[in-house]
Chains A and B, each alone.
Chain A
Amino acid sequence: AAGVIQSPRHLIKEKRETATLKCYPIPRHDTVYWYQQGPGQDPQFLISFYEKMQSDKGSIPDRFSAQQFSDYHSELNMSSLELGDSALYFCASSFITPGWEGYTFGSGTRLTVV
């Protein structure tokens, strides 16, 4: 069965650089969520999109932006990277209409900022 695909799996960037993370949801899923998980921490919600519109926003820094495209894939853009941005970034997708189907997480992107 198709799963949530994230790319890249690993990313190393220097401070003040920019990174772009991509997420391809399960086909027919209409909602994408982004989470950030620091070492030893629980996943923290960043932002979500439903039908290509931002549906909710969490603790996402102003340096980060995200969007969902017409093919439902989503990209998380991170600028002016800081050491503290080093984390696992997970994307999850779900299906809301007509009936809600629970989350499926991607394998994550491990971002290391040096």
Chain B
Amino acid sequence: GENVEQHPSTLSVQEGDSAVIKCTYSDSASNYFPWYKQELGKRPQLIIDIRSNVGEKKDQRIAVTLNKTAKHFSLHITETQPEDSAVYFCAASKGFQKLVFGTGTRLLVSP
């Protein structure tokens, strides 16, 4: 089955810096790659997603890139703000099938 690895497990940046989180997946049939932001005790919130027919997607300060050949995808956050501090999960799925999550990255943005 699908296996998703996520790095780093923790990431500390200064406000205004960029943050990059990377994930790799094992199943070449996976075609949907969402990123979730989760604050303590709250639900995962979708922040951006990408499908396998697209190499890059951007939404304001957040972007995701996908390399199907290498089977990895990355989350890029620019101009980080303290409120970006949270745990970020990548995930992979084949369309409507179950999400397989990465192990999470705790992002800390210091003022």
Contact = CB atoms under 8 A, between A and B. Distances in A.
B99 interface: yes
A42 B98 contact: no
A43 to B, nearest CB: 5
B104 A42 contact: yes
A110 B41 CA distance: 8
A-side interface mostly: strand
Place the interface of chain A in its size category.
20 to 34
Could you say which of A35, A42, A56, A96 has the most chain B C-beta atoms within 10 Å of its C-beta? A42
Contacts of A92: 99
Interface in A57-114: 58, 88, 90, 92, 94, 96, 100, 102-108, 110
B89 interface: yes
A6 to B, nearest CB: 9
Nearest to B93: A103
Interface stretch (B43-51, B53-61, B64-72, B76-84): B43-51
A45 B101 CA distance: 9
Contacts of A45: 98-100
Contacts of A102: 32, 34, 46, 49
Contacts of B41: 88, 108, 110
B43 A90 contact: yes
Contacts of B100: 45
A42 B9 CA distance: 12
Interface of A: 31, 33, 35, 41-45, 48, 50, 56, 58, 88, 90, 92, 94, 96, 100, 102-108, 110
Given A43-B89, A108-B43, 17 more contacts: A31-B96, A33-B99, A41-B103, A42-B101, A42-B103, A42-B104, A43-B44, A43-B101, A45-B99, A48-B98, A94-B96, A96-B96, A102-B46, A103-B46, A104-B46, A105-B45, A107-B42
Interface of B: 32, 34, 41-46, 49, 89, 95-104
22 contacts: A31-B96, A41-B103, A42-B101, A42-B103, A43-B89, A43-B101, A44-B101, A45-B100, A50-B96, A56-B98, A58-B98, A88-B41, A90-B43, A90-B44, A94-B96, A102-B32, A102-B49, A103-B34, A106-B43, A107-B43, A108-B42, A108-B43
